[in-house]
């Protein structure tokens, strides 16, 4: 049983609490009601038509904010639970499969928003998504609060953001437009729309597209001359006009989105730079990650390491990574003397001479009359006679018997065919430039000891597929010296680059030997524009790129450079005469035979005083 003296005190406390909560509810009820109605209307007309679920995050700094948030959530969830699924979180920190794109924040102060915004990053949120911030309490200075919130979001590259404030009978929706005819790249809160009597005052989109017109605001682009992608042509008035494939794209982007360009050129235009795993960068990449560059367009390929620290546009063109065929060593003119016949033919001819030599020796040892029967009486040099008839000389000593004459006739007839075939083909081979075969695959080249020239951005790809780093050498722009070095047969290097670069080099250096490619293609390389991480430029630029791709203009611009051909009438000339260089092989062969003759002469001189050696020479020379 309660003490009678304590009962009045307890009743007083209960009454005070009841009156306190009643006062709070009475005070906040009108604004809570219209806020809830507005939020329900936005969910039904905007969110539910674009997604099946939304994320509602809330924060508060005092009891009034907590109660207001509770009441709004209750009303909104009750009305929309059968229309859309809602995920309610106080402070989202866990990663999910798909970053949160359709978001509603319930806050009661700048402090509560700051706590929620501390968790905004590209892993938890899709920063290109939609952010509706609902202020659940009355605010003295709406402009000041809106400015701080919008500035914080704009620093995170969030553009699609609206703020909602409520009074007793009306809800005001604030937004900001970073690019207008009055300012550029600046946050300036404006009253965008209002909600009263169950409907919006203005029949406009809840989240307007804020980046369809940049009102000639200046945007920093990092680029430099790099054909065929971009050429910077300076006009007489000092303005710069971009040309080339990417240059034409940049012109269309400027015209379609109405912005002007401030060109930022790297100090060393040959240094595209790289981005290291810790986020530091060099060259042009550093101007993007640490400098003032808003975007860069200069023949960039999409790679994983770039996408980690920069945001890439949609792909607008594909190019192939190709392998330049290394310079092939030439066959010498001596080697070309053997080209008319396959090695099997040479083997057969050599075997015939060898068999004849062995047979003559055997017959000479056993019974010389059989040798005379075969080659003729008095034929002291049958092998020499055989060689002489092979090259077209007359047979000076004829066999006396029909069998020997038949063998000689067959030999002479065969020599006519063989010699005519050889002479007919030899002229063509002496005129031709014949190259030795090299491996036609990257693995084959590596096995043969070749090294790879490649841009730094490609080397990480090769490491991923198991190509040793010691086999790769990083190239620096300009790339032309590497092309010429690769064509040197003594260099034993190959170059991996894009087919764009090969085509441009061949068209601009048509008087030089053209670069040839291995049949193996490494992979297709998508070309992109790169922005600062999470940049708001991606969405409007992608829309324009999509229109360009659909129109076929990018393919047309690429064809202007890809299909270049160079003709020179002097290259189509009459058959060339055989030069002294073409006879170097013959001279070398004659020189070798002269050395053999000198060796035989020395042997004969020595044999004149050495009886045993004289007998050996006489036996082999008959």
Least-confidence region, from 44-53, 168-177, 366-375, 561-570: 561-570
User: Which tens digit of pLDDT belongs to each residue from 72-93?
Assistant: 999 999 999 999 999 999 877 7
Q: Provide mean pLDDT across the span 290-295.
A: 88
Q: What is the mean pLDDT of the chain?
A: 81
Nearest residue to 477 (alpha-carbon basis) of 337, 349, 298, 341:
298
Reported as type and span, the H/E element at residue 30 is: helix 6-45
More confident call, 575 vs 199: 199
The tokens for 243 are 């040309």
Which CA distances in Å does 552 have to 437, 545, 556?
41, 11, 6
Q: Provide mean pLDDT across the span 151-178.
A: 94
Query: Is residue 18 scored above 50 in pLDDT?
Result: no
For residue 12, the model assigns a pLDDT of 34
3-state secondary structure of 556: helix
For residue 25, the model assigns a pLDDT of 41
Q: Give start and end residues of each alpha helix (H) in 96-244.
A: 110-117, 142-155
- CA–CA separation, 161 and 73 (whole Å): 20
Query: Is residue 472 scored above 90 in pLDDT?
Result: no
Reported as type and span, the H/E element at residue 418 is: helix 402-431
When pLDDT is cut at 50, 70 and 90, the band that residue 8 belongs to is very low
When pLDDT is cut at 50, 70 and 90, the band that residue 282 belongs to is confident
Q: What is the DSSP string of 169-200?
A: S-EEEEEE-SB-SS-BS---EEEEEEEETTEE
Which CA distances in Å does 397 have to 361, 408, 415, 620?
19, 11, 17, 19
Query: Is residue 15 scored above 60 in pLDDT?
Result: no
The tokens for 83 are 């229309």
Most confident of 179-183, 275-279, 469-473, 483-487: 179-183
More confident call, 390 vs 43: 43
Give strand pairing partners of 587.
Answer: none
As a 3-state breakdown, the chain gives helix, strand, coil percent values, each rounded to 5, of 45, 20, 35
- CA–CA separation, 85 and 87 (whole Å): 7
Contacts of 31 (CB under 8 A, 6+ apart): 138, 166, 167, 168
For residue 452, the model assigns a pLDDT of 83
Give strand pairing partners of 318.
Answer: 526
For residue 17, the model assigns a pLDDT of 42
More confident call, 332 vs 324: 324
Question: What residues does each domain of the chain span?
Answer: 25-200, 340-426, 581-621
For residue 5, the model assigns a pLDDT of 45
Check if the beta carbon of residue 186 is closer than 8 Å to that of residue 260: no
For residue 27, the model assigns a pLDDT of 43
Burial of 551 (0-12, 13-18, 19+ CB in 10 A): exposed
- CA–CA separation, 404 and 402 (whole Å): 6
3-state secondary structure of 292: coil
Give strand pairing partners of 521.
Answer: 322
More confident call, 105 vs 487: 105
% residues pLDDT > 70 (the chain): 80
- CA–CA separation, 195 and 170 (whole Å): 6
The tokens for 116 are 């929620």
Contacts of 56 (CB under 8 A, 6+ apart): 73, 76, 86, 87, 88, 89, 103, 104, 105, 106
Check if the beta carbon of residue 457 is closer than 8 Å to that of residue 447: no
Query: Is residue 23 scored above 50 in pLDDT?
Result: no
Least-confidence region, from 62-71, 100-109, 282-291: 282-291
3-state secondary structure of 135: strand
Nearest residue to 162 (alpha-carbon basis) of 141, 132, 142, 187:
132
For residue 24, the model assigns a pLDDT of 39
For residue 13, the model assigns a pLDDT of 35
Cα-Cα end-to-end distance for the chain:
148
Most confident of 117-131, 172-186, 215-229, 389-403: 172-186
Q: Provide mean pLDDT across the span 445-457.
A: 81
More confident call, 339 vs 26: 339
The matching CATH number, chosen from 3.40.50.2300, 1.10.260.40, 3.50.50.60, 1.10.3720.10, for 25-200 is 3.40.50.2300
Check if the beta carbon of residue 456 is closer than 8 Å to that of residue 284: no
For residue 538, the model assigns a pLDDT of 94
Nearest residue to 408 (alpha-carbon basis) of 379, 437, 433, 439:
379
Query: Is residue 527 scored above 50 in pLDDT?
Result: yes
User: Which tens digit of pLDDT belongs to each residue from 604-621?
Assistant: 677 677 767 666 666 555
Q: Provide mean pLDDT across the span 403-432.
A: 74
Query: Is residue 450 scored above 80 in pLDDT?
Result: yes
- CA–CA separation, 253 and 240 (whole Å): 15
More confident call, 317 vs 589: 317
Most confident of 124-128, 317-321, 336-340, 351-355: 124-128
Angle at 232 between CA 231 and CA 235, to 5 degrees: 135
For residue 563, the model assigns a pLDDT of 60
Q: Provide mean pLDDT across the span 31-44.
A: 93
Counting Cα atoms < 13 Å in the Cβ hemisphere of 406 gives 3
3-state secondary structure of 69: helix
Query: Is residue 196 scored above 80 in pLDDT?
Result: yes
For residue 465, the model assigns a pLDDT of 60
Query: Is residue 241 scored above 60 in pLDDT?
Result: yes
User: Which tens digit of pLDDT belongs to each residue from 260-273?
Assistant: 999 998 877 556 77
Q: Beta strand pairing status for 517-532 and 295-301?
A: antiparallel
Reported as type and span, the H/E element at residue 165 is: strand 161-166
User: Which tens digit of pLDDT belongs to each residue from 529-587?
Assistant: 999 999 999 999 999 999 999 999 999 998 887 665 544 434 344 455 666 666 666 66
- CA–CA separation, 80 and 77 (whole Å): 5
Check if the beta carbon of residue 467 is closer than 8 Å to that of residue 454: no
Contacts of 411 (CB under 8 A, 6+ apart): 386, 389
More confident call, 597 vs 572: 597
For residue 584, the model assigns a pLDDT of 66
């Amino acid at each position: 049983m309660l003490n009678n003296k304590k009962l009045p005190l307890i009743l007083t406390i209960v009454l005070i609490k009841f009156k306190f909560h009643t006062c709070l509810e009475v005070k906040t009820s009108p604004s809570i009601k219209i806020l809830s109605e507005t939020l329900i209307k936005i969910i039904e007309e905007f969110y539910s038509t674009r997604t099946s679920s939304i994320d509602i995050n809330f924060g508060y700094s005092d009891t009034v904010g907590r109660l207001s948030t509770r009441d709004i959530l209750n009303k909104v969830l009750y009305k929309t639970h059968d229309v859309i699924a809602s995920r309610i979180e106080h402070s989202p920190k866990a990663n999910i499969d798909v970053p949160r794109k359709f978001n509603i924040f319930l806050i009661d102060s700048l402090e509560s928003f700051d706590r929620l915004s501390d968790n905004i990053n590209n892993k938890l949120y899709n920063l290109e998504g939609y952010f509706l911030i609902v202020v659940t309490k009355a605010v003295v200075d709406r402009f000041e609060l809106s400015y701080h919130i919008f500035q914080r979001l704009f620093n995170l590259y969030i553009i699609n953001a609206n703020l909602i404030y409520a009074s007793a009978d009306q809800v005001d929706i604030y937004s900001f437009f970073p690019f207008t005819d009055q300012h550029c790249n600046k946050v300036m809160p404006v009253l965008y729309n209002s909600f009263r009597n169950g409907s919006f005052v203005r029949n406009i989109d809840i989240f307007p597209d804020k980046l369809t017109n940049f009102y000639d605001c200046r945007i920093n682009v990092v680029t430099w001359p790099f054909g065929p992608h971009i050429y910077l042509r300076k006009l007489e008035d000092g303005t710069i006009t971009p040309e080339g494939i990417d240059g034409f794209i940049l012109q269309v982007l400027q015209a379609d989105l109405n912005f002007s360009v401030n060109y930022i050129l790297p100090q060393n235009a040959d240094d595209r730079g790289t981005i290291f795993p810790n986020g530091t960068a060099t060259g042009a990449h550093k101007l993007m990650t640490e400098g003032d560059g808003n975007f860069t367009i200069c023949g960039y390929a999409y790679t994983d390491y770039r996408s980690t620290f920069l945001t890439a546009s949609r792909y607008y063109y594909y190019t192939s990574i190709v392998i330049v065929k290394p310079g092939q060593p030439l066959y010498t003119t001596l080697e070309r003397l053997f080209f008319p016949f396959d090695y099997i033919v040479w083997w057969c001819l050599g075997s015939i001479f060898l068999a004849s030599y062995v047979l003559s020796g055997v017959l000479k040892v056993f019974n010389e009359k059989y040798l005379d029967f075969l080659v003729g009486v008095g034929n002291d040099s049958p092998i020499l006679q055989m060689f002489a008839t092979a090259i077209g000389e007359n047979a000076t000593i004829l066999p006396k018997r029909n069998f020997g004459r038949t063998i000689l006739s067959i030999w002479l007839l065969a020599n006519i065919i063989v010699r005519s075939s050889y002479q007919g083909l030899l002229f063509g081979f002496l005129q031709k430039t014949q190259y030795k075969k090299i491996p036609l695959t990257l693995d084959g080249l590596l096995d043969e000891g070749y090294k790879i020239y490649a841009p730094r951005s490609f080397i990480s790809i090769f490491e991923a597929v198991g190509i040793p780093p010691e086999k790769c050498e990083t190239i620096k722009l300009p790339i032309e010296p590497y092309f010429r070095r690769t064509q040197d047969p003594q260099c034993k290097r190959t170059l991996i680059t894009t087919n764009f670069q090969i085509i441009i080099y061949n068209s601009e250096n048509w008087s030089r030997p053209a670069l040839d490619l291995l049949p193996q293609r490494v992979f297709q390389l998508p070309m992109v524009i790169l922005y600062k991480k999470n940049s708001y430029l991606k969405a409007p630029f992608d829309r324009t790129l999509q229109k360009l791709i659909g129109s076929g203009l990018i393919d047309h611009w690429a064809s202007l450079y890809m299909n270049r051909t160079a003709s020179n009438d002097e290259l189509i000339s009459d058959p060339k005469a055989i030069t002294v260089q073409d006879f170097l092989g013959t001279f070398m062969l004659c020189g070798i035979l002269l050395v053999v003759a000198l060796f035989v002469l020395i042997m004969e001189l020595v044999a004149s005083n050495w009886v045993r050696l004289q007998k050996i020479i006489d036996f082999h020379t008959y």
